[in-house]
């Protein structure tokens, strides 16, 4: 069935939300979200403050939107790649895409996410975690991965490691290639779960 065509009002609504989000993201490249006023976001987006509250309850909802955008980005990128030589290649590719998205947001924005106040990292049910868990389940069922650790725990283990790489990149002020470092680190990490390392 073809997707339902949006009317002009719906398209304008989507664009307004996108403009507000993009405005906040631009401001976050040089300012802490805590210091950014909703008025500033709206002025840069060319919308009223009332429009902001039509789409976001608080500034923190900008971060929620950021994670939703990450899931969408990930779905588009990862699902276009199908031919993997082996499980290690598939999982390494997964985390390279994760690194690419983080890099695309910019160092200063990522630094703001990596605080103990940000509980979105451990939110359950996100597409990104669910898709990795499904891959791990499939690869465990085919006996390519160690199945003595549950898919849920393996997913958590790998994400903790990947976030550690990104945190280290932040600590070093982005002075190395994040995608390359993620590939190197996660290749070694994933080998510990592969039954017959290649």
Average pLDDT, the chain: 87
Cβ–Cβ < 8 Å for 144, 194:
yes
Q: Which residues of the chain are under the pLDDT cut of 50?
A: 1
- The residues near 151 (Cβ < 8 Å, ≥ 6 apart) are 133, 134, 136, 137, 140
CATH T-level assignment (fold) for domain 1-56 = Arc Repressor Mutant, subunit A (1.10.10)
- The reply to whether 1-56 and 62-191 are identical in fold is no
Residue 3 pLDDT:
55
Domain 62-191 has CATH 1.10.357: yes
Cβ neighbour number for residue 2 with a 10 Å cutoff = 4
| Distance, CA of 129 to CA of 71 (rounded, Å) | 9
Query: Per-domain residue ranges for the chain?
Result: 1-56, 62-191
**Four-residue CA torsion sign, 146, 148, 154, 160:** negative
Residue 82 pLDDT:
67
Question: What pTM was estimated for this model as a whole?
Answer: 0.79
pLDDT tens per residue across span 40-80: 999 999 999 999 999 999 888 888 888 888 888 877 877 77
- The residues near 24 (Cβ < 8 Å, ≥ 6 apart) are 33, 36, 41, 59, 62
């Amino acid at each position: 069935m073809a997707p339902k065509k949006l009317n002009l009002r719906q398209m304008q609504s989507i664009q307004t939300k996108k403009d507000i989000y993009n405005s906040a993201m631009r401001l976050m490249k040089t300012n802490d979200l805590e210091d950014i006023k909703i008025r500033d976001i709206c002025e840069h987006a060319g919308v009223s403050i009332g429009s902001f509250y039509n789409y976001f309850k608080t500034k923190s909802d900008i971060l929620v939107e950021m994670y939703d955008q990450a899931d969408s980005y990930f779905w588009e990128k990862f699902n276009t790649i199908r031919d993997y030589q082996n499980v290690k290649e598939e999982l390494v590719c997964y985390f390279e895409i994760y690194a690419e998205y983080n890099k695309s947001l910019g160092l200063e924005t990522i630094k703001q996410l990596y605080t103990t106040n940000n509980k979105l990292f451990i939110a359950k049910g996100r597409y990104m975690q669910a898709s990795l868990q499904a891959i791990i389940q499939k690869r465990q069922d085919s006996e390519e991965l160690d199945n003595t650790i549950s898919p849920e725990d393996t997913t958590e283990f790998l994400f903790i490691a990947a976030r550690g790489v990104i945190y280290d990149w932040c600590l070093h002020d982005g002075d190395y290639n994040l995608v390359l470092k993620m590939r190197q680190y996660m290749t070694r990490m994933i080998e510990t779960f592969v039954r017959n390392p290649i």
